[in-house]
Structure 1
Amino acid sequence: MLQRIQTVYLILTAVVSAGVSMYLPYGLDKNAVALYVKTEPFLLGMFLGSAVLSLISVFLFKNRKLQFVLGRINILLNFILLGVFVYWSLTVSGETYVSEKGIGMIIPVISIVLLVMANKAIKKDENLVKSVDRLR
């Protein structure tokens, strides 16, 4: 069912991961030039992977357990992405690649929050179905 609240959370995660991340800089280099995800193949792949996992999860509404597992994998992927951003921002010895942090570095945090809320709603649905099955 596509009208559930976790569908809204998953679609928002996909929009944030694929759409917003392309237009917000994740940092500034030593020449004060904005750094975007679309210029880094690794980051682009991670963000698009997160968006694709979210969209796949939307259409797995009949298999809630797999939907929940994909949500957890997506959370793990976003934690790895957040770890990469933190590593890049903390290894500033002098003036290296990422000189200043940008607003794009909090996109994985937003995605993680949305995915946790989606997983809570999926778990709630699963518990509801289990309770109804017990009554039969």
Structure 2
Amino acid sequence: MIQRVQSLWLLAASICGFATLKMPYYVGSVGAAPAEEFSAMSHLLLLILTIAAAIVALVSIFLYNNRPLQLKIALAGMAVSILNIVLYFVFTKKYDTGAIALSAVFSFAVPIFFLMAILGINKDEKLVKSVDRLR
């Protein structure tokens, strides 16, 4: 399980997903109000999608015996994490002034880690198919 590199990518995606819960994605203000931090905890839909993507990554680690299912779940997790980033951009439009926080890197890293895991799962699947042809 841990010997496979995609397990490490999925673990990294899960850690980054859970890290985005508390770390700000955007720091901005509306009108003359003081600046506030916008994170996944600021909006219920973002909270649900962030937790879902992180849990999907964790669950997918333990599906190493069923690579096709692991691949489908990792693709779904990647889609959820991309949707999460799109929603971040949509919800930051309400601020008049502000900037994306440095910790937003964690949000952008989640789909990249999912992509790396998907590539590793595909590589394993091709290897298993090539060994089956040799038998």
TM over 0.5: yes
Task: Quote the residue 2:100 is aligned against.
Answer: 101
Alignment of 1:15-34 (within 5 A): 15-18=15-18, 20-30=19-29, 31-34=34-37
Task: Quote the residue 1:2 is aligned against.
Answer: 2
Aligned-residue sequence identity (percent) comes to: 26
TM-score (norm. length: structure 1): 0.86
Alignment of 1:1-136 (within 5 A): 1-18=1-18, 20-30=19-29, 31-89=34-92, 91-92=93-94, 95=96, 99-136=98-135
Q: CA RMSD of the aligned region, Å?
A: 1.8
TM-score (norm. length: structure 2): 0.87
**How far is the alpha carbon of 1:3 from its aligned partner?**
1.8
Q: How many residues align?
A: 131
Contact 1:79/1:108, CA 8 A, preserved across alignment? no
Q: 1:109 to 1:52 in 2, by over 3 A?
A: same
Contact 1:17/1:111, CA 8 A, preserved across alignment? yes
**How far is the alpha carbon of 1:106 from its aligned partner?**
3.5
**Aligned partner of 1:16: which letter?**
C
